Amino acid sequence: MRRRLGAFVRRFDRCIKTKPSRRHLRTYVGGQVSDLPRKSVEPIALEAGVPPRTLQEFLSLHRWDEAAVRRRVQQIVQREHGDPNAIAVVDETGCPKKGQKTAGVQRQSCGASGKIDNCVITVHLGFATKDVHTLVDGDLYLPKDTWHEDRQRCRAAGIPDTVVYRPTWRIALDLIERSRANGLVLRYVVGDEAYGNKPGFRHGVDAMGLTYVVEVPCATRGWRKRPRMVLPGASGDIGRPRTRAALAPEAKPARRVDDWWQRRGPRWQAFHVKDTEKGPVVWEARATRFVPSENHLPGEEGWLIVARHVLTGEVKSFLSNAPTETPIEVLLHVGFSRWSIERDFQDAKGEIGFDHFEVRQYRSLMRHVILSLVSLLFLMRETTRLRGKKPVVECAPGAAGGRDAA
């Protein structure tokens, strides 16, 4: 394993020019994939027999190109694990931290602790196919009031003036754009309600020519048929909504997703979503073409899929911009692939110590995030090799139905 780790890390030599920094790269990644109980700088350095200060300087002061390391990760994923039906999964994760000096830290909703906590939030892009899944990018969420508007505090934490507040969905779009610019081929985009509920996110994904399958709250409103629109003082259908357009007087009001099919509608159909160690996972689903309400006006027509777990009764709702001929089974397989990034977060925190960082400066934090991509990729590759390439997710039944399908 050590020999394989050494060979893997050498693939990043062009990103790190000096021999001392290359040695520190192997030390850091080696420490993250080791069985150390704590994987911050000091225990990693002491285990490797190097002064902790030198490893700290590798993160904060050494001149090496962290953006090139991230780009190299994405190139390896594409060249050796790429798939024309690859799925991009977006989500954020929180790392609880004490104090007020770590870049981006504040009291906010933290998924790791399940409550409002003092934490740092990073937004990530996961890559998933039928054979592999791993994280391929990540960025810091900079809170607006406590950080973005306090540039003196930002400068004290080493945060450049070019790093500003962006909502998590905007960060996710930027991660997708950056990875595609680096050559990563994606077809689908998946996210939970925090992303699916944002029209700007859905429009951004659609503008890239990608197919999204995103969860939305049950309170999402819309129409099964596009309502007629009129301009004030005019009559007749004007087609696509305009700034001053309004619903025609006879148009039915938008209805909540959980109000559909209370009495009638398409029957529930059972779908085998995936296999797990506990057995097959089966959900029932109903689907219809749907026009979501955006600022009380109709948006772009797409798919609405309401799925219900046959055993627990749990209900999930999805919106998708997939073409009308897309099989619903394909959309369900794609939508339920979001579990892969939750597993990636578990592996990142439980196996490589992603949340063990004790650095405060922005540059050191971002370098830790990027080096964790390297470590997680190595872990994924070795796990896949030892598993014998047994699929980690149930393959979606056929590529047909996706956008621009061959």
The domain limits of the chain are 212-338
Task: Show Cβ contacts of residue 321 under 8 Å, excluding neighbours closer than 6 positions.
Answer: 202, 205, 206, 211, 212, 300, 302, 303, 403
Q: Cβ distance 6 to 25 under 8 Å?
A: no
Q: What band does 231 get if pLDDT is binned at 50, 70 and 90? A: low
Mean pLDDT over residues 294-312, rounded?
A: 93
Tens of pLDDT along 94-117?
A: 999 999 999 999 999 998 788 899
H or E segment at 66? helix 66-81
pLDDT at residue 240 above 80?
no
Mean pLDDT over residues 207-211, rounded?
A: 98
Tens of pLDDT along 52-77?
A: 999 999 999 999 999 999 999 999 99
Tens of pLDDT along 147-202?
A: 999 999 999 999 999 999 999 999 999 999 999 999 999 999 999 999 999 999 99
Q: Residue 273 has what pLDDT?
A: 81
Q: Which two tokens stand for residue 14?
A: 């062009």
Q: Which two tokens stand for residue 267?
A: 């029957």
pLDDT at residue 318 above 90?
yes
Q: Residue 398 has what pLDDT?
A: 40
Residue 376: closest CA among 105, 170, 93: 93
Query: Over pLDDT 70: what percentage of the chain?
Result: 91
Q: What band does 232 get if pLDDT is binned at 50, 70 and 90? A: low
pLDDT at residue 243 above 90?
no
